[in-house]
Structure 1
Amino acid sequence: MLYLDPAVPKDCGTSFYRQSLPGGRLGGNVVQAPHDNLVDALGTRFVVPDAFEEDVRVPHRYSRLLLCNANLVHSATGYSGTTLEEKRMTAVFFWMT
């Protein structure tokens, strides 16, 4: 991910999540083969709101390049702006190695 907007607040970066397990333990954060995504792995598109807990937060910083495996459970930490010109802008690249 490449953060492209210099005016976006730091709290609009990227967060990585881990599965919440009984007793407050944290589980994994990788979708493993033979599953291609969380829908395949969990068997549903909808999970309870507390199924995952934020583990790592990377703040937005203009021109920052963030590299990670696409199978890590992640999401935008937050969004900003109301018009296309003001909104969080990030370029996402995928490649096979």
Structure 2
Amino acid sequence: MLPSLTIIDDFLSDPWAARRAALALRYALPGTGGNYPGRDSTSALEVDGINAAVSRHIGIDLAGAEGTEHGHCRLTLKSDKGRSGVHVDPAFYSGILYLSRPEDCVKPGAGGTDFFRHKRTGLERVPTNGAELAATGYDNLDDLVGTVVNKDTMHPAKWERVMRVPIRFNRLLLFSPWQFHNSAPGFGTDPESGRLVMLLFFAKAKG
């Protein structure tokens, strides 16, 4: 079974080079690429061997999930607002590599990634098998995701935060994408001081 959450600190051997390359990417305008706050890079950050390194860590061969922004970076400033909140990811496994400066990561209000419990159902993730789904009273996963996640995504009172993984420069967070989660609020006033992450969405490798 895949670990529901893993933290790997000091992941890259040269994180400052990765940060410089991430800031040099072209970014879409805020609000033009999705429901998330901030802006995503229009191309992926080239980090050699990242899929292989994560594959070795969890013991399963992984590749970037098709149709996702695997490897792209996201820049979120304090002023950025999104159109969705708590969500799940369309992937086999997810990851976030934090690339904000160390001095910004330790400032009050600098957040990493939050995980939640849905108050009405008591769920902390989407069920992973038929028995778990039957216990929720829902007939299928689409109905559950639609009426729990999508309906309540922007209603904070419907959720209870159960954990926050703190942001730390060069920290890689790996987690099950079916857990209810959301990025902590953005921070900073410009790209240098903002919340900068690399997004990872994995699928099982073919072959």
TM superposition score category, shorter chain reference: 0.7 to 0.9
State the alpha-carbon separation in 2 of the partners of residues 31 and 5 from structure 1. 30
Structure 1 36/59 Cα, relative in aligned 2: closer, same or farther at 3 Å? farther
Alignment correspondent of 1:19:
118
CA contact (8 A) 1:31 1:41 kept: no
Q: Does 1:61 align with 2:168?
A: yes
Structure 1 50/4 Cα, relative in aligned 2: closer, same or farther at 3 Å? same
What percentage of residue pairs aligned between the two structures are identical?
Answer: 28
Q: Does 1:89 align with 2:184?
A: no
State the alpha-carbon separation in 2 of the partners of residues 5 and 49 from structure 1. 26
Q: Does 1:71 align with 2:166?
A: no
State the alpha-carbon separation in 2 of the partners of residues 15 and 63 from structure 1. 18
Q: Equivalent residue of 1:44, what SS?
A: helix
State the alpha-carbon separation in 1 of the partners of residues 118 and 184 from structure 2. 17
Unaligned runs of 5+ in 2: 1-95, 128-139
Q: Could you give the per-residue CA deviations for residues 72-94 of structure 1, whole angstroms, max 9, x where no partner exists?
A: 11112232111122210011111
- Letter aligned with residue 66 of structure 1: L
- Letter aligned with residue 15 of structure 1: D
- Letter aligned with residue 9 of structure 1: C
- Letter aligned with residue 12 of structure 1: G
Alignment correspondent of 1:52:
159
CA contact (8 A) 1:8 1:60 kept: no
Q: Equivalent residue of 2:151, what SS?
A: coil
Question: How far has the Cα of 1:63 moved from its partner?
Answer: 0.3
State the alpha-carbon separation in 1 of the partners of residues 144 and 200 from structure 2. 17
Question: How far has the Cα of 1:58 moved from its partner?
Answer: 0.7
Q: Superposition RMSD on alpha carbons, in Å?
A: 2.6
Alignment correspondent of 2:104:
8
State the alpha-carbon separation in 2 of the partners of residues 37 and 20 from structure 1. 14
**TM-score using structure 1 length:** 0.75
Q: Equivalent residue of 2:175, what SS?
A: coil
